[in-house]
Amino acid sequence: MENPGKIAAATAALSYIEDNTVVGLGSGSTAKIFIEKLAERVAAENMTLTCVATSHFSEDLGLKLGLNVVPLDEVTSVDVTVDGADEVDPQLNGIKGGGAALFFEKIVAKASKQNIWVVDPSKESPRLGSFKLPIEVLPFGSGHVFNYLADMDLDPTFRMLDEQTRLTTDSANYIIDVDVSKVDDLHALGDELIRHTGIVEHGLFLDICDTLIVGEEPARVINRH
């Protein structure tokens, strides 16, 4: 079913896109709406955009809709990336990766001059941790990484496609979801996780989002100070 908040946020993000720029295409259902609306606008206004994608799905969708989607390494930087988020706090820190695209999403975000997140109001949270934090891990030795996360009292679970099959990401890795609701210092946790061998990336996106667009009527825009 269509979510009016996601549509409102994705629509409002269009006004941040200028002609002759490089645009990062996020992943997830809100980013999908943005990509569809962007393609309509590019065709209607005959715009010249270069796009880079944060997942195979968004790349395929953009190409199918006629957008000029190129590999990230073909651009020197990205002017603006529009992406969704799973949970975002008042400081515009967030948890991402509900759609398992966090690794490419973070690489594109770090290459972007401006990161805009488009969310419906349900994603706002006074404190991060109600959404489970996705952690992307190499399949090799992932049981040991799982045990390390269990020893940290993070209640890990492998993300599954079905009872027998672990989900694999666009990079053929696994996702382990953990509970960070009892963690006070998420910056310290993020630093520790990324240093642990076998962890490829985590879904803590701290100090990355510049502008949050919350899908209300009218859309609410919050800029990072």
Binding site for ligand 5RP (CB under 6 A): 26-31, 83-86, 96-102, 105
Q: How far apart are CA 156 and CA 140, in angstroms?
A: 17
Read off the tokens for 127: 């404190």
84 is in an annotated binding site: yes
Please report how close the Cβ of residue 99 comes to ligand 5RP at its closest, in angstroms: 3
**96 among annotated binding-site residues:** yes
**CB of 98 closer than 8 Å to CB of 28:** yes
Does an H or E element contain 186, and which? helix 186-195
Minimal CB distance to ligand 5RP: which residue?
28
By beta-carbon proximity to ligand 5RP, the closer residue of 81 and 142 is 81
105 is annotated as an active-site residue:
yes
Report how far residue 211's alpha carbon sits from residue 199's, in angstroms, rounded to the nearest whole number.
28
Q: Which is nearer to ligand 5RP, 30 or 115 (CB)?
A: 30
- Residue nearer to ligand 5RP on the CB measure, 30 or 142: 30
Looking at residue 174, the DSSP 8-state letter turns out to be E
Q: Which of 59, 87, 105, 136 is catalytic?
A: 105
Total residue length of the chain: 225
Q: And the tokens for 136? A: 């992307």
Q: Give binding residues for substrate as ranges.
A: 27-30, 83-86, 96-99, 123
